[in-house]
Amino acid sequence: MPHTDLSAVEADVRTWFDQYVATFIGLAAAGRTDPAPLLDYFDAPITMTTDAAHVVLASDAALAAGLAHELQTLREAGYGGSTALDPEVRALNERSALIEVTWARHDRGGREFQRVRVLYLAARTVAGWRTTASAVLSP
């Protein structure tokens, strides 16, 4: 069995995640609600959990609707941007990694209105790295 260079996997995932962060923040800060540019960062079905709910988005259409809802919610909150605080990437094997990050969300005036820690499971699919699960961690 060949040895997997987990540091190379982690570097690859960091680059992919940084692109996702830039894409998401750019869309949300501009007040856009069309999720199309984000769809290449996720794979359906995807499971998402919070303290309040567990949701499985079983299709690309359901994923698009969920992302559009999140973008709309941020638009209504006067979203101006986010800072990805202390992102940690841990390769599990050649095809999967955990990403844990604290999001500090700011309004257009620069005031922080939300801070949330999220854990993502990313998988290397035939289409490239994709988020396959996420969990909002309890404070």
Indicate the average pLDDT of the chain: 95
Assigned fold of 6-136: Nuclear Transport Factor 2; Chain: A, (3.10.450)
- Rounded alpha-carbon distances, angstroms, from residue 96 to 6, 81, 91, 121: 10, 28, 6, 7
| Per-domain boundaries in the chain | 6-136
Note the pLDDT of residue 1: 53
Instruction: For 70-129, write each residue's pLDDT tens digit.
Output: 999 999 999 999 999 999 999 999 999 999 999 999 999 999 999 999 999 999 999 999
Work out the burial of residue 40: count CB atoms within 10 Å of its CB; fewer than 13 is exposed, 13-18 middle, 19 or more buried: middle
Q: Are 13 and 97 in contact (CB under 8 A)?
A: yes
Kind of pairing, strands 128-136 and 112-125?
Answer: antiparallel
> Tokens at residue 66, please?
């969920």
